Amino acid sequence: MAGAYETGVYRNIFKECGYSEEEIEKRVKETFETIFYGSEEERFYHEAGADMGYMEDTGNHDVRTEGMSYGMMVCVQMNRKQEFDRLWKWVRTYMYIEDGPGKNYFVWSCAVDGTRNADGPAPDGEEYFAMALFFASKRWGDGEGIFNYSSEARAILRECVHKGEPGHPGEPMWNPENHLIKFVTSFEFSDPSYHLPHFYELFALWADPCDHEFWKKAADASRKYLHTACHFRTGLSAEYADYDGTPHAQHQEIFGRHDWYYSDAYRTIANIGMDHLWFDADPWQTENANKLQQFYCEEQAEHWDGVFLTDGTRLEEKALHPTAIIAVNAQASLAADGPYAEECVRRFWNTPLRTGERRYYDNFLYLFAMLALSGNYRIYR
């Protein structure tokens, strides 16, 4: 089976499970509207002045490149250009690094008034910015200045690859030798949930021509890396992992503990599902999705809110983002063909958006799953 890049066909898994097109479309729209324009207790998109807006991390009360880039991706998928441009202008106004080693990167955290909380970037923001900008260019056309979307995307990727070379001070976001994305530019280990080979395949077409081969190698390297980062029995990955896929247990004095299947790591299986949907380049992805769904539905049927080591050992802690787990377990069904694919989708369908101060991360992953499982998370070219 060829992926959607070749076929143009995006599975509507909700429809395959028997839900009507009308109720699916209504649910997708309502999810977006709640996050962007719901009550103060529901939304986390806020307009700022006449032409800007931001996504608030309601758990940490800040604005992150993660959330801003996610918001931009959601907006281009939903054909919401005005909100997209508001977010991008906020990013370029407050988060853009104009000079020094981080030039053309973005500080990963700001206060809601734009005051910077950090000096450096987080690579997951940059890769989502670039992909969202390319899609905006393809869907709406390039504008002027910062709204010349494709030019902005290429500029981001140029720095991600070439920093550290003559004329490009600073640290690259991808290790130039193994083509793996770093957790942060100054440390040589990775975050499995940052690996987006389905993005890199498109970067290999649309980035600077001299970097096309780099991005093709990055896509191949990330797919192979995920084989080692996801446990052979459970399908779980750690939040941070070394370049050989081993859970990263060092640097806890700086970053805290991240060698377990916890918040960041939930995105890994969602990304695997998306790569399978778009490119269907690796049969292992189906095996891994089946293992993860089996782990949750058979071994841990009563403990979906648990925290686990990658081998499946359940710890005493409880998940900080339990709704996100339900969402990504369903999104795994983009790749899965096992007995629990439909069960996971139905459980997600019957789960409401999260409320309360921790809703930001859960509900972004919820919205991505809603788009993907309805056939509305698409490549624009």
Residues with catalytic function: 66, 264
One-character DSSP codes across 220-258: HHHHHHHHHHB-TTT--B-SSB-TTS-B--S-HHHH---
Closest Cα to residue 269, out of 287, 255, 252, 257? 287
Secondary structure (3-state) at 166: coil
Question: Which residues neighbour 50 within 8 Å (Cβ) at sequence distance 6 or greater?
Answer: none
DSSP code for 96:
B
Do 64 and 44 meet the contact criterion of CB atoms below 8 Å apart? no
Please give the structure tokens belonging to residue 16: 């395959």
DSSP for 274-335, written as a single string = HHHHHH---THHHHHHHHHHHIIIIITTT-TTEEE-TT--EEEEE-S-HHHHHHHHHHGGGT
Q: Which residue has the tokens 């923001």?
A: 125
Residue 82: Cβ-neighbour burial (10 angstroms; 0-12, 13-18, 19+): exposed
Q: Give the other-Cβ count within 10 Å of 381's Cβ.
A: 12
CA dist., res. 329 & res. 351, Å (int): 12
Rounded alpha-carbon distances, angstroms, from residue 132 to 45, 136, 228: 17, 6, 28
Nearest-Å Rg of the Cα atoms of the chain is 19
DSSP state of 11: -
Q: Which residues contact 191 (CB under 8 A, 6 or more apart)?
A: 124, 181, 183, 239, 240, 241, 264
Helices (H) and strands (E) in the chain, counts: 15, 6
What residues contact residue 176 under an 8 Å CB cut-off, 6+ apart?
161, 164
